[in-house]
Structure 1
């Protein structure tokens, strides 16, 4: 996707929506200094352009029983189109994997995985990750506590 040109009002709208996706159009329009109709048109245009990709509720992982966060570093045996496609397809299908990044450095992929407990993580590794033929090495880093977890992009 190519970068979309955003003016000052678009950025104000996006910043407000990042902080409160449930804000009413009326309140949003007042905050950014537009009429409700003009604000609604801009939001719709931002959605259609793919700048706004969706709306969701942020949940507390511990409150819903998924308090163990693990950063999993995967290294591949070989780098072929077939092996990377298989890894990406499989990992994308696992609900425990919240994020997956292809990276440079000491690993080929880094996953952010959430599970209820250590036994669940052990099952996740044995039943899912270790069954992938292209994986050569797995390193796990367990999050002790969350310092920052923002979904807000800096738009200034």
Structure 2
């Protein structure tokens, strides 16, 4: 874990608002020079504060208008290893996230599909055929508001 000062936190908050800003623009906003901002960004990257740059895609804009959260309960964890399930489920392109959770279900998946019929196809042909899948609960996303967490 890295010690973050107030400037580091302000830099992270600014990046959460717009990760595409240049070091110069971020520095001007925070009262730092471009080289000082770049050095801070480099230190934060090297410390693992940022996992990896990635694109925040609007799935509906590219034809995937349905998002469904699935709760998956494995039948028996002894006969099918968690690694086998995780390896198989991450190979499905429509599955956006795989979260191993504690509670009623063993896994929580975020699945995107073109429409409900497409989701049904993914569910029946891909997800329900995975090793060890038992109970499945689906929740269709109606709307989403994204808010950055506390920094």
What TM-score, normalized to structure 1? Answer: 0.88
Moved beyond 3 Å, runs of 4+? none
Q: Deviations over 1:103-153 (max 9, x none)?
A: 22221111111111112111211221121131111111112x214134x23
User: Is contact 2:27–2:34 with CA below 8 Å preserved after alignment?
Assistant: yes
**Secondary structure, aligned partner of 1:69:** strand
Number of matched residues?
Answer: 151
Query: Which of the numbers 13, 16, 22 marks the counterpart of 2:14?
Result: 16
Query: Which of the numbers 96, 103, 115 marks the counterpart of 1:105?
Result: 103
User: Is contact 1:21–1:56 with CA below 8 Å preserved after alignment?
Assistant: no
| Structure 2 unmatched ranges of 5 or more | none
1:1-156 map, 5 Å: 3-80=1-78, 82-143=80-141, 145-150=142-147, 152-155=148-151
Q: Deviations over 1:38-67 (max 9, x none)?
A: 110110111111101222332222111111
**Secondary structure, aligned partner of 2:139:** strand
User: Is contact 1:97–1:113 with CA below 8 Å preserved after alignment?
Assistant: yes
Farther-moved stretch of structure 1 (69-78 vs 98-107): 98-107
**Secondary structure, aligned partner of 1:123:** helix
**Secondary structure, aligned partner of 1:131:** coil
| Structure 1 unmatched ranges of 5 or more | none
Q: Please report the RMSD computed on the Cα atoms of aligned residues, expressed in angstroms.
A: 1.6
How far off is 1:82 after superposition? 4.8
